[in-house]
Every structure is written in structure tokens, then in C-alpha cells.
Structure 1
Amino acid sequence: MTMSEESKPSGPDLTEGVALTAFRDGKLLGHVGAEDVLLVQAGGEVFAIEPACSHYHGPLAEGLVVDDTIRCPWHHACFSLRSGEATRPPALSALAVWEVTRDQDRIIVQRKREAPKPTARSAPAPEKFVIVGGGAAGFAAAEMLRREGFAGAITMLSDDGAMPVDRPNLSKDYLAGNAPEDWLPLRGEDYYRDAGIDLRLNTNVSAIDAKTRSVTLGNGDRLPFDRLLLATGAEPVKLQIPGADQPHVHTLRSVADSRAIIKAAGSATRVLVIGASFIGLEVAASLRARKLEVHVVAPEERPMQRVLGPEMGDFVRALHEENGVNFHLGDTVERLDGTRATLKSGGVIEADLVVVGIGVKPRLALAEKAGLAADRGVSVSEYLETSIAGIFAAGDIARWPDPHSRQTIRVEHWVVAERQGQTAARNMLGRRERFDAVPFFWSQHYDVPINYVGHAESFDDIVIDGSIAGRDCLLKYRKAGRVLAVASIYRDLDSLKAELDMERRGL
């Protein structure tokens, strides 16, 4: 394809009008000048919106229309067709919308609408909001507070050295060498300045005093708050074997971790990945893209079996083997002597780069020290408020009552953390909005994306529609006959519909 062909706008010229009969499944892709525009028929109205999701540019023409919104087929972001606002993560930026006029049964689009400005809240609101954590939940909360018109002080305390980033990229495209580093920040430095968000990096919080409503920083400074959001996230579980503290042994959580692995990969020849978790296997795929020899050691019989079941586990293993990954399953690493890894089975792997992916644990010390109720996570209400009024928790640390699985759950999903951050922000403003989103995550292995909606701690059976090996399937995980979760490969619309079914059924 030549550049001129690539940059040519799509479909008919909408300034000249188009007949409703030209729509397919209620949608039509056209253009206004050089800009592509998606027309969407919803109810008795026709809307015009930018056609690419503002997250990873997923094609909204293949998405699902729900009332006056449209959902992205790739990672389940959602946009208002009326305003273009990103109403659900992982998208955070609004899309452009155009004015639509009708001349009998012809639809004409000529003028782009001006983006609405957030209106400052006139209702009395607390003045000082503090957010502890610079990950998905913390950033989404700060951004939503400003979007909702909160004009008070927002201080965001992060012990990371990097601004909030798109963490899924750290084990996927960025690690594989397919995404430049400037794609990583969720927003540039000027955003925080312009939005009046006091982002403090490399800042530790040593204590929370619920009585005086203040947090103590690592340097001894005290910072008062009217509302507090705890979004401290999770940290990688450390390997407890001899030799695990050597410099060529890495975990992956932060930008610094990903950079260190990329640097080491530049001179390494053989990589040992310990753990066949989602992150472990994404690392394996990314380092294969860098042409390194990769060995994966894990105790389970099949990768990802506990979450995805045996059939999908076999498929994932075969997919990685097709791409040159060597598995050593049903085995563990007992010690690391320099570059020499000795396995429980007696086998030995020489590896000059080791990446440990054996899970993460929530960072609960601050919450527990402050006296917040905790049970394998910070216990929160349906409004994401902790046991102490005015203190909220979101993201990897929060254990909340999930109406869909009918259990109290804690999950470590990027999209869930962002959605919780937004709900917590609105509740910090006094909204009393229940958190009832269906959990969602995606995992990428080479050219195969796996989407997963819902949450099944365990399941009795799996109903498989389509072909897993053919990379065209939908799997339903059932307990006592009830569908708790759905995984899919290249069944994007079905995945969106499954999410919608769970939303409607669970409430």
C-alpha cells in the first residue's frame, strides 16, 4: 500500500450526504474533508464520531452500540456518542464528534462540535484530596476529579521515578521493541501542570493518621487531607532461593524494570523465565521478538490452566512452542549459581538473563498500619470506601463486593484499576456511585489476543464455542450452571456482548 492510498479518507463524502439505506448494522464509515468519521444509528438518532478508539486505535465500526454509547471491540473502552467523552477505561481521552443534519432520509455531516469544557463545581466540596499511588487507579482518579470539575487541591504521591504509564505495554509492545518509550506515559508533564495536579515522584508515604486526617511522608513532612485515596497497587513476589539476588535476575513491574530487562537483553543470548503467569509468558513472547533463546520453568502442568482451563492452557503452550519457547513444566528452579540454574528435576539451564514472574502481592502495609479493615486486600464497600469514612481504596489492593460473581473479590487487572479509580473519584466528591463494572483483562501472545470478562475463582465446566486451535473461539466458564466468565480469541463482538449480558444479569 502506498502512502497516498494509506492516507486517503474512508467511504463517502459525508458533506454531500448519504442515505440511511447505505448503513450496515447501523454504522457507516465516511469522511469530512481529510478526517474519517463514523456514523452510528442509535435509537431514532444518528451520531457522528471519530472512528478510532483513543486507547490503542481499535476500530469502533466493529464495536457494540449500547443506548447512546459505543464500546471498543479490542479492550472494551466506551464513548458517549453525544459528547465523545471516554466514559470507560482503558480509554481516557475524548473523541471528536460532528453535528448531524437530516434532509429527509439523507444524513449530512459538515461541522465538528467544540469539545465541552469541564464546569467547575459550585457545590461545596472538600478542598484537599490526596492520592497515594501513581498507577492506573491513582491516575484515573486524579484525571476524573478534574474532569468532574473539582477545583480543590489534588496531590498525587508516587514512589515510582516515572510518571504514570501504560503498564500493560511494559511486558508487551514496549518490551518487544515495537513501541517507543514516548508511548508509555498516560499523560505528558504539561498535563499535570495545566490540570493543577501536584504529582510528586520518588515520594514514600510512611503513615496515615486517620484521626488528624494527614499522611506522613518518608522525609517526615505531614500532608493534610479531606479525602484520601489509597491506590498503592501490588509488587512482584520475590523468588526465595539461593542466588535470586544477583544483578542478572529481574522482576517486571515498573518502567525502570522494563528498561533494565531491555538493556540486559541487548547482550544476553539465553533467557530463563521463572513462572508461566500472564506476565511471564508475555515477557517470553516479547523476548522471542528480540530473537533471544527463551526457557520457561513453572510448577504447573499447563500454563494458565487455573484461570483459562486445560484446553486454552494447551493452546497457549503450543503457541509459544511454535514461536520457539522451551517449556520445563512440572518443575521449579532450586538455586541460581551465577548463570547456572539448577532445577528440582536435576536439569540445568545456563541463562545470562533471568526474569521472575511468579505473581504479585498487594501492598497493604500502609493500610494495615492505619487500622483499615483488611482481608487479603483492603476491604471496601460497594462505593470503594474503606472502614474509615473519607478514605477510599482502588486498584490491586481493593477487595470489593462483586455483584456478578456474588463474591467479595480482589483482582489485578489494569482496566479494573482504572475503572475503580474513576468511581472512587466520583465518590470522593459525594456521588455514592456503586462500583459494579464487570472485570475485564486482555493478554497478548505474539499475534494472538486473549480477552477475558467476568471473574471465576473456580469453575465446574467450560463450554467451548468455535475452535481454540483455529484462533476463533468463545469459552464460557460455569459454576453450578451459571456463566461467571468468558474468554475469547478474535470474537471481539461476542466478548462485548458477554460483558453486557453480565452487566444486565448481575444487577
Structure 2
Amino acid sequence: MTAAEPIVIVGASLAGATAAKTLREEGWSGGIVLIGSETELPYERPPLSKDVLLAKKGPESAQLHDQQWYDENSVELRLGTTVTAIDSAAHTITLDDGSTQSYGKLLIATGSRVRKLDVPGGDLAGIHYLRTAAQSQALTDAYAATPRVVVVGAGWIGLEAASAAKERGCEVTVVEPQSTALASVMGEQVGELYAEFHREHGVELRFGTTVEGFEGTDKVTGVRISGGEVLPADLVVVGVGVQPNTELAAEAGIEVATREAGSGIVTGPDLRTSAEDVYAAGDVARWDHPFFGRPVRVEHWQNAKDSGAAAAKAMLGEDVAHDAIPYFFTDQFDLGMEYVGDIPHGTSYQVVLRGDPKSGAYMAFWLSDDHHVLAGMHVNLWDDGIGGVRDLIKSGKQVDPTRLADPSIALADV
């Protein structure tokens, strides 16, 4: 590929903008076109459910770079623009205004969108979803009136939204069909630790409960749950997961995994798709992970950064194998947590706690049946950090659960 052929990035996301930055850092002097459907400059999403919801910062604080950076680095931004088709044979894309753009290499970084709750009353005013900067600002403004808030979903977004609402003086109830918080991602034992933490902060939790519909005429006034009870609500936050934006790739004939197989655009370790000169990064990519030896798709912030950088290097012809261990963090009330690892769906595991959760500072590990560390997290143990957990995972060694649970034994010596 010559510098005369631009690299086009579809998705002005964290992954997309990181790829653009990496291309320049790696010496690419040719054209870079970064296209995004939103009108805001590329931004990071974690602050939107944390400091922005707490009204500590505005959405602009989440921006990766200001306009000057894009100008100085000759990155052509086309915001408020949607790509409607990819012609991989012709190496062109079609935009929503009918124009086309040619490319030498193409990166698909279209991210994910929220799953909508399809129940009666779902289009009433006062029902919020949290994904974009605009949605975060709207919810932040709504919290200012200290409304009665019902959060649908006790996953990460739901719990962070509940935490922020409670800290800002709202009355908060969380409705979740599973048996406890975070059950599908953390398991019941650790999930219940989060549930109890929220109870201690005054959040009402309704587990084993589904939403049958929303009440109200012009604006939501209540949430009708299983059994017929209606929970009063001035505001509803729905956090029931996201789905990757794979349609553009699928319509272009690029291989996309089924939902049963984990969804996402199928790529190799170098993030190259089934189409020549087309790559994928961020939430939308389902790549063959060199360390785990299986395909994974990760929806978190760190992977957007890591995969965006890896894809940029791969597009420049570098020998790339995206092998970063998935990482996630959350802030809720006075709890800060970091997590690394990946537990395949349906895998059996043993949970080992290190330290006393009642103290507010502890660690948790998920071990395979043969005592390998699949994942681990720390809560409010910033001096220890997450590096030791990552090292245990990457070492692949079997560990003694009893020694792992003993805080007096260094992780390196377990």
C-alpha cells in the first residue's frame, strides 16, 4: 500500500480514534479519514456513567483530543456521517449522502448500541438509555431534580447509574430478573457482595423480577413488574446490555459470528476480517485470542484502546497478535474495582476470596476446575493493583486455593 491510498476508519469511537493516533505514531504519512455518525469529537465512554452522571464533569471531559489535534495530525474528521455500504472488491465505501470514498485499508470500529426494552410504554418520555455523550448529559440533567428512579438491569451500567442517582439524592430501585447483581458476569457469590453493598447505601433491589411495561400518559410514572405491582417512577434508566453494530459488515459479505457464537465481526489475531484489506477493532470485533486459544469479543474500554492500536499496526504491515488480557474497571459510591481475565460462557469455576469483603478492601479470583486462574479483581486495593492478578493469569500455573486466599502470602509466591 502506498501513502497515496488513504486509510479509512469507520467509527469515530475510542477504537477508531486510537487507531488514527497510532497510525501517525507508527509513521504513516498518508491520508487518514475518520468517519462517525455522532457529531461530537471522539470520546471515551467510562466517564459518561461515572463523573459525568455525578455532575462533577461535563461530557466534553471525555474527549480524546481537541479539534486542533486532528488538524495538526492531518486526520480528516467526517462527523455526523454514516457509512451505508462497503464494497470490499472495489475498495470503496458509500456514505449517507450518496457519495463514495476509496480506501487502501479499512478499519471497522462501529462499536455497539444499547439493547432496547420492548414492552408497552417503552417510548414514553422519562425513559433513558446510557451509551452516548448526549444520553449521559440528558440523564445528568434529569438527576438534578432528584426524581424517584427505577433502574432496569443490575449489570455494570445499571449499578453505576444507580450509584450516581443515589449519590445525587434520588430514591433508587433496581429491577433485575436474575437472582442477584452481576450474576451472569461475576457469579452469584461475588454478585451478592455488590448487591449488599448497594443495599447498605440505600438502594432498593428487586431480584427475580421482570418488567412487563411502563405506566404513564405522556411521561413515565411507573414501572409495572412481574406480579402486577407498579413501582412509582419519575425517571427510568434501562441498562440491559448492548449489541455490536455488525450489520454494515454482514451486508458487505464480511464474515460475522452468530449470536450463539458470541456475535461480532470474525477476525484473526491480527484483527483482519474475511475481506481483503478490511480490519475490525473494539466492541464489534470477535478475534482469535492467541493466549486463550479461542475467539473472544470484549465490550470494555481497555480493549477498544488496545485493539485500535493493534489494528493500526496490522494495517501498516506489522506482525501483530492482539493478545491483551481483557481489563475492566468500575466506580460505585466509594468502591473502586479493577478486573482482568475472561471466563467463557458456561465454564464451571471456583471463587476464591482474598481478604474480608466486609472491610471494603479485598480480592476475588475465579479458578478453573484444575486451579488455573481465569480472572481476578481487586476492590479498593490500589497499592496492590491489578498487575499481580494479570501475571497469575498469564503464567498459566496451577495455584493452591488456600494460599491464594491468604493475604499474607504475596501473589507472586502463591
Normalised to the residue count of structure 1, the TM-score between the two structures is 0.73
User: Are 2:325 and 1:438 aligned?
Assistant: yes
* Per-residue deviation, residues 111-151 of structure 1 (Å, max 9, x unmatched): xxxxxxxxxxxx95563100011111101101111111211
User: Are 2:396 and 1:499 aligned?
Assistant: no
Aligned-residue CA RMSD (Å):
1.6
User: Are 2:354 and 1:465 aligned?
Assistant: yes
Query: How many residues are aligned here?
Result: 384
Among all aligned residue pairs of Structure 1 and Structure 2, give the percentage whose two residues are the same amino acid: 35
Gaps of 5+ in 1: 1-122
Aligned residue identity for 2:211:
V
Query: Contact 2:377–2:389 (CA<8 Å) still a contact in 1?
Result: no
Query: How many angstroms apart in 2 are the aligned matches of 1:505 and 1:128?
Result: 41
Aligned residue identity for 2:340:
V
Query: Contact 2:43–2:62 (CA<8 Å) still a contact in 1?
Result: yes
Aligned to 1:6: none
Query: Contact 2:356–2:362 (CA<8 Å) still a contact in 1?
Result: yes
User: Are 2:353 and 1:475 aligned?
Assistant: no
Aligned residue identity for 1:353:
L
The equivalences for 1:143-158 within 5 A come to 143-158=21-36
Query: How many angstroms apart in 1 are the aligned matches of 2:26 and 2:64?
Result: 19
Tell me, what secondary structure is at the counterpart of 2:366? strand
* Per-residue deviation, residues 265-299 of structure 1 (Å, max 9, x unmatched): 23352011111110011000111121111111010
Aligned to 2:411: none
Aligned residue identity for 2:63:
P
Aligned to 1:115: none
The equivalences for 1:123-272 within 5 A come to 125=3, 127-272=5-150
Query: Contact 1:268–1:352 (CA<8 Å) still a contact in 2?
Result: no
Aligned to 1:310: 188
From 312, 322, 334, the equivalent of 2:200 is: 322
Q: In proportion to residue count, which structure has more strand?
A: 1
Query: How many angstroms apart in 2 are the aligned matches of 1:124 and 1:156?
Result: 18
Query: Contact 2:48–2:59 (CA<8 Å) still a contact in 1?
Result: no
Query: How many angstroms apart in 1 are the aligned matches of 2:294 and 2:331?
Result: 28
From 316, 319, 324, the equivalent of 1:429 is: 316
Shift of 1:373: 0.8
Tell me, what secondary structure is at the counterpart of 2:32? strand
Normalised to the residue count of structure 2, the TM-score between the two structures is 0.89
Tell me, what secondary structure is at the counterpart of 2:274? coil
* Per-residue deviation, residues 415-455 of structure 1 (Å, max 9, x unmatched): 01110000000011000211011110101111111211010
Query: Contact 1:128–1:153 (CA<8 Å) still a contact in 2?
Result: yes
Query: Contact 1:437–1:503 (CA<8 Å) still a contact in 2?
Result: no
Gaps of 5+ in 2: 258-262, 398-414
Greater Rg over alpha carbons, structure: 1
Aligned residue identity for 1:465:
R
Aligned to 1:335: 213
Aligned to 1:24: none
Query: How many angstroms apart in 1 are the aligned matches of 2:290 and 2:319?
Result: 16
Query: Contact 1:405–1:456 (CA<8 Å) still a contact in 2?
Result: no
Aligned to 2:152: 274
Query: How many angstroms apart in 2 are the aligned matches of 1:355 and 1:365?
Result: 26
* Per-residue deviation, residues 337-378 of structure 1 (Å, max 9, x unmatched): 211211112221111111100000001100100111111110
Query: Contact 2:36–2:78 (CA<8 Å) still a contact in 1?
Result: yes
Query: How many angstroms apart in 2 are the aligned matches of 1:263 and 1:466?
Result: 39
From 364, 384, 395, the equivalent of 2:271 is: 384
Query: Contact 1:127–1:152 (CA<8 Å) still a contact in 2?
Result: yes
Change over 3 Å in CA distance of 1:459–1:443 after alignment to 2: farther
Aligned residue identity for 1:156:
L
Tell me, what secondary structure is at the counterpart of 2:249? helix
* Per-residue deviation, residues 70-97 of structure 1 (Å, max 9, x unmatched): xxxxxxxxxxxxxxxxxxxxxxxxxxxx
Aligned residue identity for 1:336:
F
